[in-house]
Amino acid sequence: MSYPDPRYFGDTGEINATFRPATAAPDFVSKPVATSGPNVAQGTAYHYLSTTASTGGEYGLYRVDMGPQFGGPSTHFHKSMSESFFILSGTMRLFDGRRWIDATAGDYLYVPVGGLHAFRNESGEPASMLMLFAPGAPREEYFEGVTELAGLSDEERAEFFLRHDSFFV
C-alpha cells in the first residue's frame, strides 16, 4: 500500500491547524429524557471536534458524552462511510455485528462501510467516547435531528434516516 497522491503543492507548509481545548462547551446537548425525579436525565453532549466542513470532507470526529441513562441506537449500517469508536471513560456496550462487548477506556471498534453495529450506555454511569466517520458526512444534522423523530410521520422518519445514511435492521 502506498501513500495517497499529494494534495498540497506548496514548498513551505501553512499555518492552518485548529486547537479545541477539552474545556470547550459541547456544541449540542440532546434533550433529557426526564427533567425531574431522583434520576434526572442529563441528555447526551456532542462535541463537534472535526466536522466534514472543517476537514473538507475527509472525516468527522465527535466526542460523545452520555449520561447515566440507558441510550443509544439499535443495530444499523452505513452505505457511504465507516465508523470508529474509541472509549474515553465509563463502560459502553458496542455491537460488532456478531456480539455485544462491554468496552471501557482505551477500547476501540472499527466498523467498515456496510458493517452492522450499534452502541449504548447500559451501565447506569456516565460514559464518553470518540466517534470517527470517514469520509466525512454532515452528522451534526443527524445528531440534532434525531431528537425530533417522535414528531415525524413514518414517511418523514424514513426519509431522515435515508438522507443520513442510516439503515436500521
Specify the pLDDT at position 32.
60
pLDDT at 36 over 60: no
pLDDT at 31 over 80: no
Specify the pLDDT at position 34.
42
* C-alpha–C-alpha distance, residues 140 and 132, integer Å: 13
Question: What is the mean pLDDT of the segment spanning 55-83?
Answer: 94
**Predicted TM-score (pTM) of this structure:** 0.88
Q: Find the helix or strand (DSSP H, E) in which 157 lies.
A: helix 154-163
Residue 53's identity, in one-letter code, is A
* C-alpha–C-alpha distance, residues 147 and 128, integer Å: 19
Q: Is the distance from CB of 78 to CB of 113 less than 8 angstroms?
A: yes
Residue 99's identity, in one-letter code, is R
